[in-house]
Chains A and B, each alone.
Chain A
């Protein structure tokens, strides 16, 4: 069984990386083989918290997708983007910086792909009006979405998975990751100012084109917009308080999404059809494959190997945190960060069990292991900027740009993405080291 499960895992990973077969097909087929081969039984696959599908992740993802699908129909993102371009008075760098801020903020609370999908058409239009190359703007938005998505529990699927497995709540992410992302974002923008500040210039007559644009035309349904903003606000409040009221994040998200669904006039068939079912089923398949390698002991072996390399102690895991950060970043630049985090989660839990003798339950144990979870999150999310295939937002932006007649080559993306990845990971390393190991600020 050990080698059978390991074989399924390796072949699935290889096929996902090769992109020769759609990753959802690979994950679901791998899951089917795991079940038919009796590595896991159906009870374990669907009902076991440690081995099976993490329904908290699945329902959180579905709920947020439903909420986003309804919100996109209001036109609010396009409104904000055009408004920002006007606030920037048509200045190209200011527009780039403001669009990066909107994208990062949007991605912190919504899906990264949706955020860039909504902003890219406005970006292309504004670049067209200013007669400038849209490529640096589009790449900046993809990078900003990956940075912004790292800030919250709901910003990026790896964070949702980490929160569920590590028992971290929304406020833990706000307290530990949001400050890191604010610092990282400011430094990144400073670097971008140095790179693009003087390169991006346009004539005054072209800036006037931006100033004459009418952002109000973008609001398609003002009543739905008011409802959406109210429900989104309440849902975020619910996320902040979910630990206090002992609700899982998925429960809060489901309540928010279904309330908005009830209040909107949207047809269920239309809204549910727009849920990214391939992604949802990719998760389901992946959870079952990973459950298989946990059950047969491969994860235990991998965590033992990690302990041998990094020598984590019950009171100090500095080396492990640093190795985890860089390892996650490099892997996530090459591999989809979802399967990566799905694999790392049980390894870290097993590692914690081995170091502490049981799962980290005391405050002192949590203090030691939590920085490692933050390192995994920062590495996995920010590492996605390292290559065009590192994150879904990158792939989407490249596709949209190509469709609009602006090809972004692999090398061209790397020129922007790789330095961003290194800058953000170095800053993350400094943040983790200074905050948790020098200042001891937990």
Chain B
């Protein structure tokens, strides 16, 4: 079984000039996922996750202990977020992207997920153009079967 058998062909793309707010929109909707930063010819040049966006808001020097000393935490975070708004995908993206090719074995993809702690990996062609993505869940669904065929009470509204 290779990657092409279960990869998704709908992906979130963004251009390098895409700003912070635009990236946030792209990642947050419809479901949390990665935004792939591509050139006009769809060559993959970087990737942005929610974690990367959060890193832009949270200064590198901050740690949990230091954070506790600040009384106006919300105000501090708002100021940081305001600064982050002016950054664009080119500044935020992770440039060293680990990607898969459609002919790679699922076992190889699964091993990379386990080793590197990723949830999603882009799938590119020989010219490094993005053609899809694959997630841990995609592999599990492919191996175990579609969970939606079973009747589980998975989602609960806890507000009531």
Contact = CB atoms under 8 A, between A and B. Distances in A.
A215 B66 CA distance: 9
A209 B65 contact: no
A95 B72 CA distance: 20
Interface string B65-77: 1101111100010
Interface residues of B, number: 14
B62 interface: yes
Contacts of A128: 59, 76, 79
A214 B69 contact: yes
Contacts of B61: 120-121, 124-125, 400, 403-404
A122 interface: yes
B69 A124 contact: no
Contact of B60 (A82, A213, A404): A404
A405 B62 CA distance: 13
Given A78-B65, A217-B65, A218-B65, A124 B59 contact: yes
B160 interface: no
B65 A213 contact: no
Contacts, number: 51
B151 interface: no
B63 interface: yes
A213 B59 contact: no
A interface bracket (residues with beta carbon within 8 Å of B): 20 to 34
B133 to A, nearest CB: 30
Contacts of B66: 78, 121-122, 125, 218
A215 B71 CA distance: 11
A213 B63 contact: no
**Most-contacted residue by chain A among B61, B62, B68, B70 (CB, 10 A):** B61
Contact of A218 (B60, B69, B71, B72): B69
B60 A214 contact: no
B54 to A, nearest CB: 15
B86 to A, nearest CB: 12
B70 A125 contact: yes
Given A121-B66, A218-B66, A220-B65, A209 B59 contact: no
A128 B72 CA distance: 13
A155 B92 CA distance: 40
B7 to A, nearest CB: 35
Interface in A116-153: 120-122, 124-125, 128-129
A362 interface: no
Given A75-B65, A400-B61, 13 more contacts: A82-B69, A121-B66, A125-B66, A125-B69, A128-B79, A213-B69, A214-B68, A214-B71, A217-B65, A217-B68, A218-B66, A220-B65, A405-B60
Interface of A: 75, 78, 82, 120-122, 124-125, 128-129, 209, 212-215, 217-218, 220, 400, 403-405
12 contacts: A75-B65, A78-B65, A121-B62, A128-B59, A128-B79, A129-B70, A129-B76, A213-B71, A218-B66, A400-B60, A403-B61, A404-B59
